[in-house]
Amino acid sequence: MQNNITRLLMVFVILFSFTSCELVGDIFQAGMGVGIFLVIFVIAIIIWIFVKLFR
């Protein structure tokens, strides 16, 4: 009986650890997308300011 409980506990630990790693990966991937968008946005604003100043 103890052996079955240990196996079941190990399976649950493995399942929860894999899903949490996938969740963290998805969060970082979404953050990277937002970061790239913000960098492009800031560069576009800087270019727009230079065009307005030197026109």
Q: Mind giving me the DSSP string for 2-47?
A: HHHHHHHHHHHHHHHHHHHHHHHHHHHHHHHHHHHHHHHHHHHHHH
Rounded CA-CA distance 29/17 in Å is 18
pLDDT greater than 70 at residue 1: no
- Token couple for 21: 């790693």
- The total domain count for the chain is 1
Q: What separation, in Å, do the N-terminal and C-terminal C-alpha atoms of the chain show? A: 81
pLDDT in tens, 2-33: 778 888 888 877 777 766 677 777 888 888 88
Range of the structural domain that residue 22 is part of: 1-55
